Amino acid sequence: MEFTGERYLASVTTSYISYEHWHRYFYASSFTIGKTILDIASGDGYGSSLLAKSAKEVVGVDISEETIQWATENYPVGNLKFMQGSCRSIPIAGKSVFDVIVSFETIEHIPMEDQELFLQEIKRLLKPDGILIISTPNKALYSDRPNYQNEFHIKEFYKEEFDAFLRKYFKFIETGGQKIYSSSWIWPFKDSREPFQDYHIEFRNDHFSPSDKKKEDLYLISVCSDTLQPKFPYSALTDLDQQITQEILQVKQLEIERQRINLKYLEDSLQEAKEHNHFLSEVNAQFNEENIRQKANLKYLEDSLAESQKQWDYLSEVNAQFNEENIRQKANLKYLEDSLAESQKQWEYLSEVNAQFNEENVRQKANLKYLEDSLAESKKQNEYLSELNTQTLSKLIEREDEIHKLGEAVEWYKIHYENRKLVGIVKDRFIKILTHYKSRVSS
């Protein structure tokens, strides 16, 4: 199976997590000799298998069907069996079935309401004189101090909170702590009932010295009972292969190699920095030259700007004059437009007058033609009268007896003379009309 971090597997090789999980089952094994055991959240079965070596019967329950199948195949022990089920509703019928129930690092994986159901199931299956061994992380040290959040944990407990929660279901509770520390062992070669002595040192100010500090309970382990106050013995787990030391050495070697690589990187970076610094010096010199050129260009631009400003002022003044001239031109244009309109009216009037004149001219021509015809007729009459007068005078000379008739002729001549005066008047009138016509044509 693949390790995901949700549950510990026996195949995990990391020392810290292996020490923590194995030690809990070794600790519980001192309570399970010859007893019927229920292991809730048994995982891949490594812990249940350990308890089965000294217990009468062990049942491991886990919610993962895959995990249960793997445990069944890998731990075929006669007094050990595995069942798939939830800690909220354990698939075992009846009451008071087990002498000891163990559940390590389980309760923090379920919501608060399910935690109550979990303890109720434990009370249902535990015998009246049985004991519960249960563990959980101490939230103050596990999560709060490092500001860490385990993605699989839903509801963690503080120490006092965990004790209060368990006391709702059990009369007697004894709680201890668990954490991995580096240690040195001194032990007798023979069995001894002498009390276990625990000494503490710490590394301060670059050296070791005795310490009065207490060990920190990163994990809480409680032994619970309803019949008597349970004992909570000291317990230590020793890795005889000192795998954690090997891991630390590997980490140190990796750290040394990392530092060596970092040193080589720093040396290369220093050399590159020197080369880069030389390059920057050259670039800086070029920059200074460019800066001088830029300053000269800036001065030129400033002078150009000043000159442009003068030109702008001049153009502004010219523009103002142009605007004034434009206003005058607009006024002149308006005057010309008005004059044109007036001229248009005059032209229309003159056109009308000219039309009238043309009509009058036609009439005058007709009158002139009439007068010319009348004049020609008068000439004919005048010639006729002249001829008649000549004949009359001859006759008067020749015929005195025709004096009377001559008097009548004279009378007629007078009338003719009056007609000639009338012709003169008509002629004068015609000349005036012709002169008036010529003056209008000239204008």
Each of the 443 residues of the chain gets a pLDDT tens digit; together they read 565 656 666 666 677 678 888 899 999 999 999 999 999 999 999 999 999 999 999 999 999 999 999 999 999 999 999 999 999 999 999 999 999 999 999 999 999 999 999 999 999 999 999 999 999 999 999 999 999 999 999 999 999 999 999 999 999 999 999 998 888 887 888 877 777 888 898 988 888 899 999 999 999 999 999 999 888 888 888 777 777 666 666 656 666 677 777 878 888 888 888 888 888 888 888 888 888 888 888 888 888 888 888 888 888 888 888 888 888 888 888 988 888 888 889 888 878 877 887 888 888 888 878 878 888 887 888 788 778 777 766 775 776 665 566 566 556 656 655 656 665 775 677 677 667 756 765 65
Domain membership flag for residue 186: yes
Query: Which pTM was predicted?
Result: 0.58
Q: How would you label 320-351 residue by residue, b for 16+ Cβ within 10 Å and e otherwise? A: eeeeeeeeeeeeeeeeeeeeeeeeeeeeeeee
Query: Which structure tokens are listed for 287?
Result: 């920059």
Domain membership flag for residue 227: yes
Q: Kindly report the CA angle at 43 between 40 and 44, in degrees rounded to 5? A: 135
List CB contacts of 66: < 8 A, sequence separation 6 or more: 1
Query: Which structure tokens are listed for 404?
Result: 């009377």
Q: What is the DSSP string of 60-97?
A: EEES-HHHHHHHHHH---TTEEEEE-BTTB-S--SSS-
Tell me how far apart the alpha carbons of residues 276 and 282 are, in angstroms, rounded to a whole number: 10
**The dihedral formed by the CA atoms of 322, 326, 328 and 332, expressed in degrees to the nearest 10:** 140
Distances (CA, A) of 35 to 120, 131, 247: 21, 11, 37
Domain membership flag for residue 163: yes
Tell me how far apart the alpha carbons of residues 57 and 96 are, in angstroms, rounded to a whole number: 15
Write the CATH number for 126: 3.40.50.150
The count of structural domains within the chain is: 1
Domain membership flag for residue 77: yes
Tell me how far apart the alpha carbons of residues 212 and 202 are, in angstroms, rounded to a whole number: 9
Domain membership flag for residue 62: yes
Domain membership flag for residue 325: no
Domain membership flag for residue 284: no
Q: Which domain holds residue 119?
A: 15-239
Domain membership flag for residue 265: no
Tell me how far apart the alpha carbons of residues 357 and 365 are, in angstroms, rounded to a whole number: 12
